[in-house]
Amino acid sequence: MIPYSSFTFFGILFVLLIPAVILGFLGRRSNIYTTFLSFVFLLLVFSSSKIQTFYLVAYIIWVVILIKGYSVYRKNANHSTVYYLSVFLSILPLIIVKVSPIFESTTLVGFLGISYLTFKATQVIIEIRDHSIKEISIVDFLKFLLFFPTISSGPIDRFRRFQQDYQKKLTASEYQEYFQIGVHKIFIGFLYKYIIGYLINVHILETQLVVGHTFVSNLTYMYAYSLYLFFDFAGYSAFAIGVSYLVGIKTPENFNMPFISRNIKDFWNRWHMSLSFWFRDYVYMRMVFLLTKKKVIKNRRNISYISYTTLFLLMGAWHGIQLNYLLYGVYQAILMCSFDWFEQFNKKKKIWKNNKLTHVLAVIITFHFICFGFLIFSGHLVN
């Protein structure tokens, strides 16, 4: 059973949430019941596939050993080789999942949500290295890793933020506010995913696939697919965030009106924010720091461009190693580096003035660059 994909899932979800809501309104939010819900929904999601259940259990054992092992090691020593090896081993299962289709007709290993669990596990190892996380119990780690509303497709939370919410005692009035936000988010999710997204998919995208590749059909598909992608994914995120609020956890937002972005940097601060911020913090910033520290390259702008390129190539490959995803990564890297160059150039030459007209033009131009990127991402042009 795929989360948030059927009314059967929602029916079971709402029934199981009743005790959590009642306890919340009484000011007695129960972490034990939240943990129980995570366990129940793991059973529901993976009960139909024994092989996926096996891979999930194996993965959990794998990352628990890594986290515990590196945590103990970090207290007594600090060797970069062990750290980088631990990070590599934490993402190795995901690498195998992404690469295996090259050699087999189907994925060799994997399970629903492996990407997002990998982001969480790798993040914990990095923050143990940084001493941002000084102590972490296996129980607390598993609660974070397997938190049921976000297990399949995010948003990607951070351990310390999640842990603060998990341990926070909510009063009845505080929970009432959480409940209102949660219900609102769930209704937004239904509007986005099952009404707007559905209508775009059925009445535009499916008809354009039949028309074939003409300039008008490709243009129509580009706009429709961009909007569909937003409403479908933002709808799913709204479900996950809304359910999180109902059990007393403020899962971070994933979208903030991305189609009114003024430039590509602004877009990545608004689109799939939990993912883009993860890549920013754990790939881009660390590459910049490493290249600067090692003095591999002296020019700071070149360091930034190399880091941007690495970030977006990894982001493209994370979606899959198919040509359209890799091209999408290259395209986004070119956009980001080009805009950064223009931004620096404009500070000196003052070609682009900031006023209401240029703001509107910037939004329109950015929107079209974004949509063309999603057309590449869709595979409509290259598959």
E strand or H helix at 330: helix 323-349
- Give residues with Cβ within 8 angstroms of 33, minimum separation 6: 19, 20, 23
Longest dimension (CA), the chain: 64
Task: Give the helix/strand (H/E) hosting 287.
Answer: helix 285-294
Which one of 319, 359, 368, 380 is the catalytic residue? 319
Sequence-distant (6+) residues with CB within 8 A of 230 are: 255, 258, 259
Contact 273, 256 (CB under 8 A): yes
312 class by beta-carbon count within 10 Å (0-12 exposed, 13-18 middle, 19+ buried): buried
Separation CA 283–CA 301 (nearest Å): 16
Q: Is 318 helix (H, G, I), strand (E, B) or coil?
A: helix
- Whole-angstrom CA distances from 137 to 2, 76, 144, 200 are 29, 17, 11, 46
User: How far from chain centre, in Å, is Cα 185?
Assistant: 18
Can 368 be counted among the known catalytic residues?
Answer: no
Q: What span, in angstroms and rounded, lies between the C-alpha atoms of 249 and 251?
A: 6
What DSSP assignment string belongs to 99-120? HGGGTSSS-SS--TTHHHHHHH
**Catalytically active residues, by annotation:** 319
